[in-house]
Amino acid sequence: MDRDRLLARLTGRRICRSCGATYHVLFNPPKAEGVCDKDGGELYQRSDDTEEKVGTRLDEYTSKTAPLLAYYEGKGLLREVDGEKDIDAVTADISSLLRG
């Protein structure tokens, strides 16, 4: 997945200050912007969900974690799931892999 798409996915989370309900500005938006559907509470963006912080996390992943993929693939332990599918399809794919 390209970096811009990842940033959009990872920076879109919003959380209700009062009940903790989670939304996403693109994939699961509230009915009214900035307002929780459940209790009318204010929605906020966590400080670690900003573009700057997420960018830093993606850089860390690229430099430190991504190189491990080849290692685990070489051992036959890597399984891949297309995370861009519909959430139900991704869940089914993961469940299928875990069942073996």
| Sheet strand arrangement including 43-44 | 22-24, 13-16, 43-44
Residue 90 within any structural domain of the chain: no
35: nearest Cα among 50, 49, 47, 18: 18
Is-above-0.85 flag for pTM?
no
Residue 44 within any structural domain of the chain: yes
Domain of 40 in residue numbering reads as 1-48
Residue 20 has pLDDT above 90, yes or no: yes
Q: How confident is the model at residue 2 (pLDDT cuts 50, 70, 90)?
A: confident
Residue 28 within any structural domain of the chain: yes
Residue 75 within any structural domain of the chain: no
Q: Helix, strand, or coil here: 28?
A: strand
Count of domains observed in the chain? 1
Residue 99 within any structural domain of the chain: no
* HSE toward the beta carbon, residue 22, CA cutoff 13 A: 7
Residue 17 within any structural domain of the chain: yes
Residue 54 within any structural domain of the chain: no
State the pLDDT at residue 37. 98
Q: CA–CA separation, 33 vs 36, rounded Å?
A: 8
What integer is the mean pLDDT of 21-29? 96
Residue by residue, DSSP assigns 52-81 as HHHHHHHHHIIIIITTHHHHHHHTT-----
Yes or no: say if 17 and 41 are a contact pair by the CB < 8 Å rule.
yes
